[in-house]
Amino acid sequence: MTLRLFNTLSGQLDQIFAEDGKALRMYACGPTVYDFGHIGNFRTFLQIDVLRRFLLLTGMQLRHVMNITDVDDKIIRNSAAAGVSLREYSAPFEQAFLDDLDTLRIQHPEQIARATEHIDRMVELIQNLAAAGAAYQTEDGSWYFRLSAFPAYGKLSKKDLSGMEDGARVDVDEYEKDSARDFALWKAAKPGETSWDTAIGNGRPGWHIECSAMAMEYLGESFDLHAGGEDLMFPHHENEIAQSETVTHKPFARHWMHVRFLLVDGRKMSKSEGNFYTLRDLLLKGYKASAIRMALISVPYRHQLNFTFDGLVDATSAIERIRTFKKRLASGSFAAGENPALQEAAKNAQAEYIAALSNDLNTAEARAPIFDLIRTANTAIDQSQLLAGDRDAILAVLASFDAVFDVIEDNDAEATRRALEWAEKAGKLADVAPELFARQGLTDEAIDALVAERTAAKKQRNFARADQIRNELAEKGIILEDSKDGVRWKRK
């Protein structure tokens, strides 16, 4: 079992292997923790999880590193506006990101590295670039990478950069897609901004240098695989290559994997377009965590995926089908023995499943033989032709399916409960779909919060909202009594 995966750098499917013969060293660009992630971000992390889990299934050891970008333009701007430190601002979003990974059952990498804890390594790298003549300082004290010092620039994205302006500079973290510019390695401190006083001056790192420094810190100068969303290919990954290879003269990463976008009506889901859903938005609307996972991984990573609610509904029923089947297998009593036709069907399904994933992680093709097997086995059970040995063989196929897809065990109620708990704390109970309260049962705290919201609405003379809350609660059997010392409620 080996994986052939599309390599952006070579432009073809390449076999994945650990150069050191021990563990596959891989780096995946992590989140910028300035807000909650949207499900487009999580599509990328989910597809990297599919990669991780399939490699583990093939018996490979992994050394997977992910950064947390906890200093950038947006974090600095937002923390200053909120009057708190960078860490105070970003810590809750970092925790929310890790919680969302758990909700989506995305495995944690072996190493998570925060940018702000690796400033020394970044400074050292910039010093090495300066010594190599590839970094220069401008009058304000910022440092830039000199693109002309790296003639191979553009080799990853295959962009034609012949029109590149020598010496033109850019200092924002994200910039236009088609211009190649000397980019900021280090930004001089501006009044009121968080900064680090270092040998190269007082300031803070640019975004690109973070990933070069942290990847090399944990994986060495040259490693096996680097992954991220398709928007990172240029300029972020191109810049990582330029910074790293200029210093080491070694290939930075051998293999580059890029996950294509999650779209909404044909456009990239993104914060700036305003066309996004967070994981929590969807959970509060009543969609299950497993369905979100299934919908976002079932279209292979090399295809863009258009997000629709119908897609979530389809994923929900696909999961229901597998779960019901597994219960039927596990709880049924079957005569001893094996039915050769079913043994053969299980063996073929397993082989086709592995073959599909081995071929560039084709998750869509990998699902198909599993559902075929379920159909065949259900018919066999109906006709009393499934025997105990077949049950075990089929359960083994399901286990191998779930080693990657991880949707069969039902953790959905717990994930939704956590989302409701968060909604209560964050004052977002009004966003919760009414059916969800009914499905989960309304806690005392949730009722208190709604009652308080109703009282506030009345104070603001928003009687429509106050009545709406009274009616919603009534539908769930909660009766409100207005009394002179406030509102009392009771369950019918």
- Which residues make up the interface to ligand AMP (CB under 6 A)? 29, 31-32, 40-41, 43-44, 228-229, 231-232, 259, 261-262, 268-270
User: From the list 3, 5, 29, 305, which residue makes contact with Zn ion (rule: CB under 5 A)?
Assistant: 29
Minimum gap (Å) between residue 41 Cβ and ligand AMP: 4
Minimum gap (Å) between residue 307 Cβ and ligand AMP: 9
Minimum gap (Å) between residue 352 Cβ and Zn ion: 35
Question: Taking CB under 5 A as the rule, does residue 219 contact Zn ion?
Answer: no
Decide whether 207 or 287 has the Cβ nearer to ligand AMP: 207
Decide whether 234 or 353 has the Cβ nearer to ligand AMP: 234
The CA distance from 49 to 51, in Å, is 5
Contact 403, 49 (CB under 8 A): no
Decide whether 146 or 268 has the Cβ nearer to ligand AMP: 268
Nearest to 221 by CA among 194, 202, 240: 240
Minimum gap (Å) between residue 227 Cβ and ligand AMP: 8
Decide whether 228 or 300 has the Cβ nearer to ligand AMP: 228
253 is in the binding site of which of Zn ion, ligand AMP, none (Cβ under 5 to 8 A by kind)? none
The CA distance from 153 to 147, in Å, is 7
Decide whether 269 or 398 has the Cβ nearer to ligand AMP: 269
Minimum gap (Å) between residue 122 Cβ and ligand AMP: 17
CA 358 → CA 56, 350, 422, distances in Å?
A: 12, 12, 39
44 is in the binding site of which of Zn ion, ligand AMP, none (Cβ under 5 to 8 A by kind)? ligand AMP
Question: Taking CB under 5 A as the rule, does residue 211 contact Zn ion?
Answer: yes
Tokens of 333: 């009593």
270 is in the binding site of which of Zn ion, ligand AMP, none (Cβ under 5 to 8 A by kind)? ligand AMP
The CA distance from 196 to 405, in Å, is 43
Name the residue number minimizing CB distance to ligand AMP: 229
Decide whether 217 or 402 has the Cβ nearer to Zn ion: 217
Contact 225, 125 (CB under 8 A): no
CA 276 → CA 136, 168, 335, 411, distances in Å?
A: 39, 34, 52, 25
Residue carrying structure tokens 């790293």: 244
Binding-site string for Zn ion from residue 160 to residue 199, where x marks contact by CB under 5 A and - marks none: ----------------------------------------
Minimum gap (Å) between residue 181 Cβ and ligand AMP: 20
Minimum gap (Å) between residue 305 Cβ and ligand AMP: 8
Minimum gap (Å) between residue 356 Cβ and ligand AMP: 22
Nearest to 296 by CA among 41, 43, 40: 43
Opening angle at CA 362, ends 358 and 398, nearest 5: 80
Residue carrying structure tokens 């290939």: 251
Minimum gap (Å) between residue 427 Cβ and Zn ion: 34
| Eight-class DSSP state of 140 | T
The CA distance from 230 to 233, in Å, is 6
269 is in the binding site of which of ligand AMP, Zn ion, none (Cβ under 5 to 8 A by kind)? ligand AMP
Minimum gap (Å) between residue 234 Cβ and ligand AMP: 12
Return the range that interacts with Zn ion (CB under 5 A); candidates 83-91, 135-143, 207-215, 360-368: 207-215
31 is in the binding site of which of ligand AMP, Zn ion, none (Cβ under 5 to 8 A by kind)? ligand AMP
Contact 6, 16 (CB under 8 A): no
Contact 183, 208 (CB under 8 A): yes
Question: Taking CB under 5 A as the rule, does residue 65 contact Zn ion?
Answer: no
Minimum gap (Å) between residue 464 Cβ and Zn ion: 48
Tokens of 285: 């609307």
Decide whether 137 or 270 has the Cβ nearer to ligand AMP: 270
268 is in the binding site of which of Zn ion, ligand AMP, none (Cβ under 5 to 8 A by kind)? ligand AMP
Is the previous residue joined to 235 through a cis bond, with omega within 30 degrees of 0? yes
Contact 428, 421 (CB under 8 A): no
Residue carrying structure tokens 């910022």: 142
Decide whether 123 or 480 has the Cβ nearer to Zn ion: 123
3-state class of 371 per DSSP? Answer: helix
The CA distance from 107 to 405, in Å, is 12
Size of the residue set binding Zn ion (CB under 5 A)? 2
301 is in the binding site of which of ligand AMP, Zn ion, none (Cβ under 5 to 8 A by kind)? none
211 is in the binding site of which of ligand AMP, Zn ion, none (Cβ under 5 to 8 A by kind)? Zn ion
145 CB-near residues (< 8 Å, 6+ apart): 129, 134, 135, 182, 183, 185, 208, 239, 242, 243
Q: Is 335 left (phi over 0), alpha (psi -120 to 50) or beta?
A: beta
The CA distance from 209 to 221, in Å, is 14
Using CB under 5 A as the criterion, which residues of the chain lie in contact with Zn ion when the complex forms? 29, 211
